[in-house]
């Protein structure tokens, strides 16, 4: 490998020691007094090293310096101080501050941005602060605007289900500890325009102009426009999930992350312009480096764009200082400077992926290329002049293919551990997809830059370039969707764990909705799937996290949109799933629409009723207890499925859905065996459930119940909860526990709260 044969590369050691110091600081935080003493000692030792520098001592000092720096950045910050003062409950405040991030507007109309506070007014007191809050407001602000808001400062909630993005931890790394929710547009008042960093403000205005220029002449093609904007300008938040997901599944999502490919093309075009202008190498370097850094600002200052811009600047800076720059040293220098800027970047997914992929390319691409070239390469002892005609073209094409394949394999190897850990995804198809898509993407970028250059002078030519890009972008999207459909091209993998168990059941927390994943040794079933929004945001991501690539069956309990609204998308994701549908007639329009969809797709839904049963696996059987086949009710909750799940010979779970007193009375009237270890239930929309007689018949040891504050009927009654406690029944209420994980062995079971970690075992008394 070239790394070990190259001359001394000092930034490699500096970056490694910086990372070690930050990790140690994360594990062993210091109090404020110790930080002050440590900083004084470090300053004294650093002064002594000036007179007698030693390599190992220098590296040790760098590690110690970053240890202190990370502690200082995360110790008693402004965000922590303000959060401690406000406490753990929502507070009504008046906040004044300036916008320091690009505002992003969601389909619901709310705009989200970061606000650096100047002051807050709480209970008649006005206090200055420089904390940063996330704000949600139905307005149209701009970067740098100074505004005054009246709203609710809320703690940022943790994820409540496996697979959910941990927004609280993500924002805490940026010392953002509160969300300010501003309900009405009139609750925000503009104080003045035009504040903030002038360079970043100019970059964002430039980005808006560039986006308009790139989309000119494309008509009503939002999918293509968003793809081009995301690829050229890094505007990934505008890309719909149904477009973005196939790129993730084929390992080509990096096209939306402005990185080395983008910066390299920009640098090449700028170098060509400098050559035409007959600038010297020093003048060219001085001309290109600021523009590359400005391009990184235009694309949003993401880690990948900063890393690429810094690396390119160091490489080009070698011409200015007439020194050769080494690629791995430049990569390490970019990492070192980014960690100097913000030590918390070390823990961000973007930082880790960006440097892991480029590092793997630097280390492994050349050895892989040499290995591949040996198969069909030209005999090294054969003079090049004798290689002519078709054979010359064949070997040139094969050499180009080897270069592309070596980079693709190296990048895949570098990204695999992180993609597997963060996204639970393995994408072998990416080795082929990148070979096809990246060359086309190169032309998309080049044509986009030509369009931007020609827009001010020749607008008609820019439209021609844009339409050429429309064809290429459409081609790329089509190819990526095709690769995403190849069987085995991608698959999701659950995090490794000890071999379990007979079955695992995850009761997701979807508020008033429901979705329960039943996983056995070789099958996966989903009882309900939540609303359309819940499926997209929670259930879909959970199934990826759980490593579900094939869903065996889906059971729909009743015609409530909060329980089955996401079924159309579920059928799209898992087209060969077995569906068990409640045959009771109801007035639910979404249920009738869903039944029409079954007919259109030739999906044969099993209409099971009381007395029927079906097997989920050899060890798990489901008995349908309710409703009878001829049953009808005006209220959907009164005709919901009641399913008793038998796991092995010892454990039983009763799924009550949103059933109420009437359903419980019907079950008791038929003298059914309701004895169950666990009951999983929702809340009836208009009456109570869990009556004394029903609890006497079921005799559960654990009840898992949904609960939410609004509307009132969806909240667990305090008197009912106290009654369960007197009976010795453990209650997991999901407003406090989040999702609940149930694990069943051959002779035992346990339940664990995802939010609090509390565990209840079958052996508990």
- What is the number of other CB atoms lying within 10 angstroms of the CB of residue 23? 16
Q: How far apart are CA 697 and CA 428, in angstroms?
A: 53
Across residues 377-385, what is the average pLDDT?
Answer: 56
What pLDDT, on a 0 to 100 scale, did the predictor assign at position 130? 92
Task: Give every CB contact of residue 658 below 8 A, 6+ residues apart in sequence.
Answer: 514, 557, 558, 560, 563, 637, 640, 681, 682, 683, 684, 685
CA distances to 101, 215, 298 from 208, rounded to whole Å, are: 14, 11, 9
Across residues 152-158, what is the average pLDDT?
Answer: 93
Q: How confident is the model at residue 410 (pLDDT cuts 50, 70, 90)?
A: confident
Q: What is the CA radius of gyration of the chain?
A: 30
Instruction: Cite the DSSP H helix spans in 377-499.
Output: 389-423, 430-454, 459-484
Q: How confident is the model at residue 521 (pLDDT cuts 50, 70, 90)?
A: confident
Torsion of CA 43, 49, 50, 56, to 10 degrees: -120
Q: How far apart are CA 97 and CA 146, in angstroms?
A: 6
What pLDDT, on a 0 to 100 scale, did the predictor assign at position 643? 96
* Residue written as token pair 């597997």: 420
* pLDDT over threshold 90, residue 36: no
What pLDDT, on a 0 to 100 scale, did the predictor assign at position 1? 46
Lowest mean per-residue pLDDT among 322-331, 419-428, 594-603: 322-331
What pLDDT, on a 0 to 100 scale, did the predictor assign at position 644? 96
Task: Give every CB contact of residue 218 below 8 A, 6+ residues apart in sequence.
Answer: 224, 225, 466, 467, 470
Most confident of the following: 93-97, 254-258, 417-421, 586-590? 93-97
Pairing relationship of beta strands 553-556 and 524-527 according to DSSP bridges: parallel
- What is the number of other CB atoms lying within 10 angstroms of the CB of residue 236? 19
What pLDDT, on a 0 to 100 scale, did the predictor assign at position 119? 93
* pLDDT over threshold 50, residue 3: no
Q: What is the pLDDT of residues 416-435, one digit of tens each?
A: 898 888 889 999 998 888 88
Q: What is the pLDDT of residues 113-127, one digit of tens each?
A: 999 999 999 888 899
Across residues 711-717, what is the average pLDDT?
Answer: 85
Q: What is the pLDDT of residues 135-147, one digit of tens each?
A: 999 988 988 899 9
Establish how many alpha carbons lie within 13 A of residue 245's alpha carbon, considering only the half-sphere containing its beta carbon. Answer: 11
Lowest mean per-residue pLDDT among 270-279, 333-342, 352-361, 696-705: 270-279
* pLDDT over threshold 80, residue 736: yes
What pLDDT, on a 0 to 100 scale, did the predictor assign at position 296? 82
Q: How many helices (H) and strands (E) does the chain have?
A: 26, 25
CA 364 to chain centre: 28
What pLDDT, on a 0 to 100 scale, did the predictor assign at position 31? 80
Query: In this predicted model, which residue has the larger pLDDT, 631 or 1?
Result: 631
What pLDDT, on a 0 to 100 scale, did the predictor assign at position 363? 87
Lowest mean per-residue pLDDT among 65-79, 321-335, 507-521, 588-602: 321-335
Task: Give every CB contact of residue 86 below 8 A, 6+ residues apart in sequence.
Answer: 93, 122, 153, 178
Lowest mean per-residue pLDDT among 51-60, 317-326, 465-474, 703-712: 317-326
Q: How far apart are CA 560 and CA 68, in angstroms?
A: 55
What pLDDT, on a 0 to 100 scale, did the predictor assign at position 515? 96
Q: What is the pLDDT of residues 723-735, one digit of tens each?
A: 999 999 999 999 9
What pLDDT, on a 0 to 100 scale, did the predictor assign at position 705? 96
* Residue written as token pair 């303000």: 82
Q: How confident is the model at residue 47 (pLDDT cuts 50, 70, 90)?
A: low
* pLDDT over threshold 80, residue 396: no
Q: Is pTM, for the whole model, over 0.95?
A: no
Q: How confident is the model at residue 46 (pLDDT cuts 50, 70, 90)?
A: low
* pLDDT over threshold 90, residue 372: no
Structure token pair of residue 67: 């240890």
582 in Cβ contact with 627 (< 8 Å): yes
Mean pLDDT across the chain, nearest whole number? 86
Q: What percent of the chain lies above the pLDDT cut of 90?
A: 40
Q: What is the pLDDT of residues 189-213, one digit of tens each?
A: 999 987 777 888 888 888 888 888 8
Query: In this predicted model, which residue has the larger pLDDT, 641 or 498?
Result: 641
* pLDDT over threshold 50, residue 666: yes
What pLDDT, on a 0 to 100 scale, did the predictor assign at position 660? 92
């Amino acid at each position: 490998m070239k790394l070990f044969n190259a001359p001394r590369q000092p930034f490699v050691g500096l970056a490694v020691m910086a990372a070690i110091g930050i990790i140690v600081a994360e594990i062993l935080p210091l109090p404020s007094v110790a930080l002050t003493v440590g900083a004084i000692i470090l300053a004294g030792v650093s002064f002594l090293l000036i007179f007698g520098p030693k390599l190992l001592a220098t590296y040790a000092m760098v590690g110690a310096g970053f240890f202190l720096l990370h502690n200082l950045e995360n110790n008693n910050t402004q965000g922590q101080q303000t959060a401690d003062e406000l406490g753990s409950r929502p507070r009504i405040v008046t906040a004044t501050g300036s916008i320091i991030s690009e505002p992003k507007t969601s389909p619901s109309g709310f705009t989200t941005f970061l606000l650096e506070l100047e002051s807050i007014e709480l209970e008649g007191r006005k206090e200055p602060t420089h904390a940063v809050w996330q704000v949600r407001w139905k307005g149209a602000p701009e970067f740098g605007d100074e505004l005054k808001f009246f709203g609710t400062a809320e703690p940022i909630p943790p994820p409540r289900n496996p697979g959910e993005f941990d927004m609280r931890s993500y924002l805490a790394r940026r010392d953002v500890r509160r969300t300010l929710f501003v309900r009405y547009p009139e609750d925000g008042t503009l104080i003045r325009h035009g504040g903030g960093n002038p360079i970043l403000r100019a970059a964002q205005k430039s980005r808006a102009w560039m986006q308009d220029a790139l989309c000119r002449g494309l008509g009503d093609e939002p999918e293509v426009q968003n793809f081009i904007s995301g690829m050229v300008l890094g505007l990934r938040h505008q890309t719909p999930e149904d477009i973005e997901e196939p790129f993730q599944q084929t390992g080509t999502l990096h096209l939306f992350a402005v990185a080395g490919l983008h910066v390299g093309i920009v640098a090449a075009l700028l170098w060509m312009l400098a050559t035409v202008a007959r600038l010297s190498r020093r003048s060219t370097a001085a001309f290109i480096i600021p523009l590359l850094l400005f391009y990184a600002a235009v694309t949003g200052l993401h880690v990948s764009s900063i890393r690429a811009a810094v690396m390119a600047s160091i490489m080009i800076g070698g011409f200015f200082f007439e020194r050769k720059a080494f690629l791995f040293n430049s990569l390490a220098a970019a990492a070192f400077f980014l960690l100097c800027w913000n030590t918390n970047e070390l823990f961000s997914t973007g930082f880790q992926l960006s440097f892991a992929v480029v590092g793997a390319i630097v280390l492994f691409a050349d050895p892989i290329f040499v290995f591949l070239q040996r198969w069909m390469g030209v005999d090294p002892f054969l003079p090049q002049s004798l290689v002519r005609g078709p054979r010359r073209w064949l070997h040139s094409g094969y050499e180009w293919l080897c270069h592309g394949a070596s980079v693709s394999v190296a990048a895949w190897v570098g990204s695999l551990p992180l993609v597997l850990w963060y996204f639970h995804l393995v994408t072998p198809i990416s080795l082929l997809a990148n070979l096809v898509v990246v060359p086309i993407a190169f032309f998309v970028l080049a044509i986009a830059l030509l369009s931007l250059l020609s827009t001010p002078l020749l607008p008609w030519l820019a439209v021609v370039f844009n339409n050429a890009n429309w064809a290429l972008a459409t081609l790329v999207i089509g190819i990526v969707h095709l690769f995403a459909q190849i069987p085995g091209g991608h698959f999701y993998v659950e995090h490794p764990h000890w071999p379990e168990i007979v079955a695992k059941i995850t009761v997701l927390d979807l508020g008033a909705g429901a979705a329960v994943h039943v996983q056995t040794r070789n099958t996966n079933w989903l009882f309900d799937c939540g609303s359309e929004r819940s499926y997209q945001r929670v259930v879909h991501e959970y199934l990826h996290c759980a490593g579900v690539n094939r869903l065996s069956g889906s059971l729909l309990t009743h015609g409530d949109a909060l329980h089955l609204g996401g079924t159309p998308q579920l059928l799209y994701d898992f087209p060969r799933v077995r569906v068990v549908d409640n045959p009771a007639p109801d007035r639910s329009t979404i249920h009738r629409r869903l039944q029409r969809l079954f007919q259109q797709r030739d999906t044969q839904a099993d209409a099971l009723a009381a007395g029927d049963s079906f097997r989920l696996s050899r060890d798990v059987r489901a008995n349908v207890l309710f409703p009878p086949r001829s049953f009808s009710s005006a209220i959907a909750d009164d005709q919901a499925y009641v399913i008793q799940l038998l796991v092995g010979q010892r454990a039983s779970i009763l799924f009550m859905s949103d059933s109420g007193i009437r359903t419980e009375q019907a079950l008791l009237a038929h003298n059914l065996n309701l004895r169950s270890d666990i009951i999983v239930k929702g809340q009836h929309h208009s009456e109570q459930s869990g009556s004394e007689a029903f609890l006497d018949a079921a005799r559960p040891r654990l009840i898992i119940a949904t609960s939410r504050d609004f509307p009132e009927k969806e909240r667990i009654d305090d008197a009912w909860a106290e009654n369960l406690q007197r009976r010795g029944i453990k209650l997991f209420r999901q407003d406090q526990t989040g999702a609940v994980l149930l694990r069943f062995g051959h002779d035992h079971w346990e339940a664990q709260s995802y939010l609090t970690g509390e565990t209840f075992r079958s052996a508990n008394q």
